Amino acid sequence: MDMFIWKSVVVGLAERIVGITRRLKNNEKSDAINEVLIYGGDTDEWRRQVGLNNLFCILYIIDHAGRTIDISMPSLESDSLTKCLIEVKNRNNIEVRLIVHNVTDLCNLHSLADNGIRVKVIKSAVKLEHEFIIIDGAYSDAVAILGSLDFEVSRVNCCKGTTILSSDCTLISALQLEFNRVWLSHDDENINNFDDSEEGS
């Protein structure tokens, strides 16, 4: 499969996912989203291009969030993901919450906080290995993204691996419960000093 065909497949997949979520918003009958983005390839250039296409698919889905984004990641080093979150937050006026594990480089985190994104750094002895994004989690058109996420245009995932895209309500509910459990933990630091004492789980 050449690069043009692969790009067409990824763009088509992203458009299909956004179309399905729009139909769900309008209460139209629709199929659930259960897609897998696969990484790797035979050559370095092929692996890089596949990783780049998958990254664009993930950013495209995030860019179409309508109400909320909840993110849990070990760290956030991706400038591409940071910029995408800030742009969608400002353009769509949505609530964005980010959980990361105890990190040393707070540059991207402060940039997010300065733009109204709620950021928590979990400071626990057990390293947080969660890596998922929940888009519009409390709504019927919710989508979850799990797997390789902390990459950017200049540093794409060239390894073998997968990212899962799903609208399965059981999966999204389980991820939302886990996100809320970690979000409400007391072993944390709020980068932008918000008060979460009245939030429910």
Pairwise pLDDT comparison (187 vs 91), residue with the higher score: 91
Instruction: Provide the sign of the torsion angle of the four alpha carbons 86, 92, 93, 94, taken in this order.
Output: negative
Residues 1-12 have pLDDT tens digits of 455 555 565 666
Q: How confident is the model at residue 175, as a pLDDT?
A: 95
Average pLDDT over residues 62-73: 94
3-state secondary structure of 152: strand
pLDDT of res. 142:
94
Q: Answer yes or no: are the C-beta atoms of 85 and 117 closer than 8 Å.
A: yes
Query: Tell me: the pLDDT tens digits for 48-59?
Result: 777 778 888 888
Spatial CB neighbours of 115, under 8 Å, sequence gap ≥ 6: 86, 89, 90
Nearest CA to 71 among 100, 94, 112? Answer: 100
Task: Quick: pLDDT tens for 112-140.
Answer: 999 999 999 888 777 777 889 999 998 98
Q: Residues in the chain, how many?
A: 201
For 185, residues 6+ apart whose C-beta sits below 8 A from its C-beta are: 122, 124
CA distance 74 to 97: 14
Worst-scoring range by mean pLDDT, 76-85, 91-100, 110-119, 132-141?
76-85
Q: CA 132, CA 76: separation in Å to the nearest integer? A: 12
pLDDT confidence of residue 2: 58
Question: Residue 152's pLDDT band (boundaries 50, 70, 90)?
Answer: low
Q: What is the mean pLDDT of residues 133-153?
A: 83
pLDDT-based confidence at residue 201 (cuts at 50, 70, 90)? very low
Mean pLDDT for all residues in the chain: 78
The whole-number pLDDT of residue 29 equals: 45
Domains of the chain: 3-190 (3.30.870.10)
